[in-house]
Structure formats: structure tokens, C-alpha cells
Amino acid sequence: MTLLGSSRLAQRLAERILADLRDAGAQPGAHLAEQPLADRLKVSRSPVREALTLLAGAGVVERRPNRGFFLACDASALPEAAPASAAPEPDEALYQRLVEDRLAGALPDRVSERALARRYAVARGRLLTLLKRAEAEGWAERLPGRGWGFPPVIDSPEAYEAGYRYRLIIEPAAMLEPGFRPDPAVFRRLRAEQEALLGGGARMLSRAELFAVTSGFHEGLIALSGNPLLLDGLRRVNRLRRLVEYRLYADVERLARMAADHLRILDLIEQDEREAAAALMRTHLRRSRDARRGAIGQHATGNASR
């Protein structure tokens, strides 16, 4: 079952709710109370409400005014929830080993599939699955024949610091551009994603999905500046820093603090206090930089569980 237009977390929660209902053999008319679901899934009520709304749109549950959500069909008739976008990442440990080897400089800039298959002792089909994921995320590229290349990424403390200094220049300034125009639809999406992170949703998303949500917040705001060059510049920096960020997403409490900053920035912009929003963005970026300072050197090659 694919729920189009949903956030990553809402999609995951909708799948979990469907699976629980099937396992429990729930009957039509069963009340799907938000708070018990939120408690069981260890998130806040907002993303649960979004997930139930998605299921209502798919005809799986019914929303009754002033009463909440109720199952609309027998549990045995519920669809399987397995959209490709939310499927578990295959071979995650091996993928993280590939990431760490790239950051450590253990992989050459150009290498054949055969050499990679020997290095990781995997069949070509399994290797291609990993490489295609890396290609989709922008840090690997297929070469003519059966070769692969690995474009430059941020892999040193100096480069990481330079990336943050660049962001400190362009991101606060983007909010003060004459062409900056808040977009209510964009703000609703960004707010829902950040509230989900703040409510515990970070525990349900992969590192790639977390990076998409957090970097997407900053890209979503800078896109409103009316200056496409600013957006292009930030996207390039985000592509370069992606792999390092994967190492840093185990700290759920830090992600929650970051989401709280993001929500406050949205509040200030909506209150037409853009100077204050820009100042908070600058503080937020400095805080994030300081929290990460030295992280590259502290992570040993192959420490994929971090």
C-alpha cells in the first residue's frame, strides 16, 4: 500500500498501525485512539494523527467528527503496507562499511565492480544494490563499462568547518533577502516534519531519511529567498557533507533540540520577525557546528554503529 504525499514518518507510522491491526484481528468500527497509539509507538500525537489521516484518505479508517478515527474494514482485508520509499534499507551494515571506507579514503576515486565485489566479498547483484543506493544519494557514480567513481565529499575537519562557515554566511542572509516570501504550504510541511522529530519520530527513520528531513528544512527555507543561486549552493554543500552526517545521527536528543530550534525559526518568520529568525539561524548553525567539532577525527573507520 502506497500513501502518496505523506511525510516519511507518517508513512512509517501508517504501516506500523496497519500491521498492529492485522496482528490483533481488529474488527470494523474499532476505535483508534491517538494517545494509546502514540504511547505504543513512542512518538507524539501529531505524527500519529497525520498517519491516521493518511489511512482515512486511503479508505482504511473512518474519521468521525468530534469522535476520532475508527477502523473501516475487517483487519483481514487490510492491505499490505510495503511502499518502496519506506522499505527497510538492505544490507545496512555493509552499506555503512562502504560509507566509512569512503570517508577514510580506503576506496580509490575509480574502481571496478569486480574489485569492489572482492573487497566486500559479496555477489555482484547485492553489490549493485548498495552502489545504486549510493548513486541515488549522490556520492557514487556509474562509469562506462563496469566501473564506479566516488566524487569528492567532506571528509576532514577543515572541510567540515568550511562547510559550516559557508552556511553561516548564506542561510541567515537568505531570510533577509528582499525576495524572501514565506509559503504557508511549505511551512506546514516543514513544521509537521520537525514536530514529528521532536515527538520521537527520529527513532523510526533511517539515517538517510533523517538527513533528508533535516537538510530539507534548511533547503526549504532558503528556497523561499527568491534567489536560486543560494539554494544551489546549499544543496551542493549538503551533498558533500551527507556521509559525515550519517555518523552523527545516533544522538536522538540532539536531533530533538535541533528540531526545536527549527520550529522556533518558523514561528519567528510567521510573526514577521525575520531579523530575529536570522539571528536564531546563526546561533543554531554555530551550536550545531560546535557540537560536531572533532567528530570526524573521533570516529574510527568501520564504526558504523555510532
Question: Quick one: which of 54, 133, 123 has its CA closest to 89?
Answer: 133
Task: Give CA–CA dist 36/52, Å, rounded.
Answer: 13
Question: Quick one: which of 257, 280, 255 has its CA closest to 267?
Answer: 280
Dihedral angle of Cα 108, 113, 118, 120, to the nearest 10 degrees: 70
pLDDT in tens, 233-277: 999 999 888 888 877 776 677 888 899 999 999 999 999 999 999
pLDDT of residue 15: 83
pLDDT of residue 8: 67
pLDDT of residue 300: 37
Low-confidence ranges of the chain (pLDDT < 70): 1-8, 79-90, 250-251, 294-306
What would the grid cell of residue 58 be? 486511503
pLDDT of residue 260: 93
In 72-121, where do the E strands start and end?
110-112
pLDDT of residue 262: 96
- Residue 8: count of CB within 10 angstroms of its CB: 21
pLDDT of residue 1: 43
pLDDT of residue 270: 96
What would the grid cell of residue 99 be? 560509507
